[in-house]
Structure 1
């Protein structure tokens, strides 16, 4: 994440749904501080961040309760989120993610995130690192 940030937010907590709520609150704080971000960019970036954060907390597994950190940043050209956890590495291939059929009750999160973002990366290792980027269309 760059030093040219107009605004940034940092969240850290256990991998549970209260973290997702904190991410929503942090996004609202960002939009208040950088009101010139377009409604479309806000909506699509927030959707992607919410979907990935929800997946992270729902699927975080390991010998102990996982901790997640989220860094959100807005600069003149880009919206960025980096989520890191200390859970077991997720076995996911983003190149194989597709939208499930209309009758499916789950499985849309990463497909929606991929559609809303310009770049979504997952680096498994000692935990997981998710990088989400959306170029600002209003820039």
Structure 2
């Protein structure tokens, strides 16, 4: 079984305040996982925040409410996040969503950016919810350096 350095959890409505709650939880995690360097922490955090922000903007069905449930696990060589969009409409990822849009485009960079920053990103429909799984392989470093 892999060594778990830190675990985090955030749950709440898919509204803008949850983005800040996720950022706060990630900061708390890094305090408990000092062997994860900024070269892995920062890209992982940015990708998680992008996916959560997309959920806030796009997951709500007409007339419905969505709850987000984020679980994060930090291992010495792996950063893992699972985001459940409870009550969300099924994800419809447009063709080309993983590619950077034209420089003049005003939107469409979140998923493309997350894909560039992560080792893997998947989304599947499970029990009436969307489940995003995000991973980034990390290289432990000496926190004293």
TM-score, normalization by structure 2? 0.88
> Does residue 21 of structure 1 match 2:20?
yes
Q: How much does 1:64 deviate?
A: 2.0
Gaps of 5+ in 2: none
Aligned to 2:133: 131
Gaps of 5+ in 1: none
Distance in 2, matches of 1:95 and 1:8, equals 33
3-state SS in 2 of match to 1:21: helix
> Does residue 61 of structure 1 match 2:60?
yes
Please, what is the CA RMSD of the aligned residues? 1.7
Q: How does 1:14-53 map to 2 (within 5 A)?
A: 14-53=13-52
- Structure showing greater Rg: 2
Aligned to 2:103: 102
Aligned to 1:80: 80
TM-score, normalization by structure 1? 0.92
Q: How many residues align?
A: 138
